[in-house]
A = this chain, B = another copy of it.
């Protein structure tokens, strides 16, 4: 990299003059949206061999391991599973997964196909994740969040027929723009809109809503250019386009399909989004390349005790049997509270209570492999998401391997709260898959004919986390207590962030915990 990046300059300012100086520098430099993350953390000073025990080799644990070893700490990581990554997890052909209750699934996908049961997309504004991907050499490709040609679907709208997003969106926008433009044009809003703004507002609405000169949203080649044509413009003979009929405005309103029109408009879903090439666990593998040598796998922590001298952790060796003891000066505990609450520990009362009381969201994801990409071949849908009011919530088409022949995997269900979750929880894996097929075939009639195999993960039954993400009973009341360094132990993970369930939350929580722990080590409490 030639020269100094703006971010590295900001980091220097931050290091030299503190975070508020950095904040003002960022603003002055036109960083309209300061991130909580402004570059790699700097842990200054020599910890002189201080040892840290890190519990859990998910993204929070491995972030801590990477940064603390780099700062000179002696680091040991204990991980329950046989591999690192935690919820940053990809299931591929040949993988076996046994859930709570004993049901075992062996993934029978074709070579190269996969499903990410946990995180599956990276917002471009999740700066820490993006920066670690850069530092760890994790190649990213775009994740198609928005596909105007995908469907919006409600069982009670349009006779249950899936509608193309572009049609509903364009018609809704046209309809509301027409209403507003007419109201403005007829001087009904003169108390709300100044005379100075009036003409420009009308100009803008004509453009935004694709209205004609009379402020009407009508069937025309102009509106078809946005919503799609009855027959597209072509070449040679008979190539003139034919405009498409509009949906009835009142039907669009009554359909409630507008529920899905802003799903891609939140910060966490703004275009562009990304995914690692080959599966989300590419990030886990990137971290593991750096800190894998520090990790003891198959280590089930059964006790976490601390006193004035240090931290003592007992863990069972799941492969060789027996109980081992690890000790350290400090501990970064990234074990989900859902699990930590079941482990013998002597953490302080306030923290203990939060740990034992935090419920976890239970999401369900179903990966379905089909013999061919009928969504591309028959329906011209390349990546992106179809939304439905059925329990599966959405269908997400693969953002990779476009146009290829052979079997492909789509996300046939992703549901993360409410009654649907419990419905899926109560089922065996094959029942979840069957439910995803039943609901999905209402949108894609090809489902049954093309179905090959599936895998279904319901997070309340994932043995090593028992849920998908922590839920605050009362964040206002509990958050500060939960993140505090408790004598020699600090907890970290997505559950200790304002970005629950996102990898960014896990990493930012870890970086903050590590920074504060380092402060204690260097300067005392």
Contacts and interface: CB of A to CB of B under 8 A. Distances in A.
A402 B146 CA distance: 19
Contacts of A205: 176
A435 interface: no
22 contacts: A1-B405, A5-B377, A6-B378, A35-B380, A36-B239, A124-B147, A124-B382, A127-B380, A130-B403, A142-B142, A146-B272, A147-B272, A172-B204, A176-B176, A208-B261, A234-B505, A235-B496, A235-B498, A235-B507, A235-B508, A236-B483, A239-B498
Contact of A382 (B32, B208, B272, B399): B272
Contact of A32 (B167, B253, B372): B167
B124 A253 contact: no
Contact of A1 (B184, B239, B372): B372
A393 interface: no
A152 interface: no
A416 interface: no
Interface residues of A, number: 123
Given A226-B266, A233-B36, A267-B228, A144 B142 contact: yes
A231 B193 CA distance: 32
A235 B497 contact: yes
A179 B176 contact: no
Copies in the complex: 2
B235 A510 contact: yes
Given A192-B182, A228-B267, A372-B2, A235 B36 contact: yes
Contacts of A228: 32-33, 125, 267
A509 interface: yes
A162 to B, nearest CB: 8
Interface stretch (A90-98, A113-121, A133-141, A461-469): A133-141
A346 interface: no
A237 B516 contact: yes
Contacts of A483: 236-237
